[in-house]
Structures are given as structure tokens and as C-alpha cells.
Chains A and B, each alone.
Chain A
């Protein structure tokens, strides 16, 4: 850890943010619970064994979310690669869609929301999740998503309009 890095009880910090981190991992894995759990486990492992280090430049929450997002993206790439390999038929690889069990367990309203979210581009989905679900500011969402503030604002406005339209269409 760098000299300026704040001393943190990592497990305690993770304990406080665990439900939010799980929700974010689900969003990063398009609602696939198994993939989200894998991403979260790998992220926690990176943090606890020091491969990912908190340097105090951001809040612990935005940093943790960045680690989860980065880890989930890596898993997605590996899963995409495995689908091309001949051995893919032997093992179930996540295909980036919500798993049926998770969807069935949801209430009607949230199921409609997740279905509408699934049709949006990934960036828009991520920014909307970070702002509405995690109550982050657009600037913090930009930091987590690794985009500029202007880009995050554009994704936010477009995503919000598209989501609103989709939800209205479904009700009519």
C-alpha cells in the first residue's frame, strides 16, 4: 500500500458494502447470479491478497465498485473466449443473460425494470444503476464506469429517457 493510503479494516469495510457490492456485481453480470457471485469472490480475493490496493484517491465504495466492474469485465471476456473453444460444450459458461431462477424470484415491478434494463446498452445500464440504485452522483458513477463526466451525463440522460419509454410502453 502507498504511504498515503489510509489504513482500513478491509473486512469491516467490505461487510458494510457487501449488499450494495452484490447488487452492483449483478448489474455488471446482467443479472446472472452465479456470474455475479464469482465476480464478487474474485474481487474480494484481489482486495484481501493485495492485488487490488486502495490508494485513498476515491472513496472506498467507488474504488470497490471499480474493482468489481473490472473483474466482471474480465470474466465476461474469458466466458466469451470459452464459448469459442471446443470444450465449451462440456461446461456451462455464463452467456450474459439473467438466470431464470433469479428472474422468477423477483416481484412484477422489479422484473419489468430488469427486463427493460436488459435492453439498454451496457454503459447506460451501468450509469443508471450507479445513480438510481447505489445513489451515487453522476461524477462518482463516471469514476466507477471509467468514463468522463460528460460521457456519463450523456449515458444517464439517454438511458433514463429510454428506460422511461420502455416502462411506459409495457404498461400501455
Chain B
């Protein structure tokens, strides 16, 4: 890029700057609008927070009702804890096939 090109770009940007400056709102109006906006913002924030609280309460209520609607039978539930594997014996399947003695309670014979 030549120096002339750069100068030309600068001229174009300066023309844009002049147009923007002519169309810029007055500082006083901008500040007044900013202050007016600030005055309404807390009310809007309160409304937004209220709406959010209502939505959250609705969701919580819906979840509560949904949980009540589904009966949970404790007898049908088996709780698996993370440490259950510690109770498992090594080669448990093999041990299950080994016959074991049974004791029969019979009346002792006297000679």
C-alpha cells in the first residue's frame, strides 16, 4: 500500500467522522436519557426478579406434584451402594457350585 493510498483512506474516514459528528445526539440529551433509563432500571429489575421467582416456584410445585403422583414401593427398590463390590467374594460363582454339608436335627439314639 502506497502513502497516497493511506492518505486516501484517512480522508475517507475523516469524511465519515464529520458526518457522524454532525448526526451525533447532544451530550446533554444522552446524559438525560441515561439517567432516565437508570431511574426505570430498578423497577424493571424487580419485575424480572419477581417473574423469575414465580417461574421457579411453579417448576418446584410441578416437580413436587409429579413426584407424588408416581408411587414408589420401597420393597421393589434395591439400593446399590458404591462399596457393594467389597462384599462380593472372589470366585463367588465357583463357590456356589460346591456342595456343602447340611445338619439334620435328629433325636439321638441311645444304645
Contacts and interface: CB of A to CB of B under 8 A. Distances in A.
Interface of A: 11, 14-15, 18-20, 22-23, 26, 33, 37, 40-42, 44-45, 48-49, 102, 105-107, 109-110, 113-114, 128-129, 132-133, 160-161, 163-164, 167
A37 B32 CA distance: 12
A19 B13 contact: no
B30 A164 contact: no
State the majority secondary structure of interface residues on B: helix
**Which 3 pairs from chain A and chain B are nearest by CB?**
A132-B13, A41-B34, A22-B24
Interface of B: 1, 5-6, 9-10, 12-17, 19-21, 23-25, 27, 30-31, 33-35, 37-38
A11 B17 CA distance: 22
A86 to B, nearest CB: 13
A132 B9 contact: yes
5 contacts: A14-B31, A110-B12, A113-B12, A113-B15, A114-B16
State the majority secondary structure of interface residues on A: helix
Contacts of A20: 17
Given A45-B37, A109-B15, A164-B9, A19 B1 contact: no
B31 A44 contact: yes
B66 to A, nearest CB: 23
A129 B13 CA distance: 8
Contact of A45 (B5, B24, B34): B34
A105 B5 CA distance: 26
Contact of B1 (A37, A107, A164): A164
A41 B23 CA distance: 16
Given A22-B25, A113-B13, A113-B15, 10 more contacts: A15-B27, A19-B20, A26-B20, A37-B33, A40-B30, A41-B33, A42-B37, A44-B30, A109-B12, A128-B13
Nearest to A18: B27
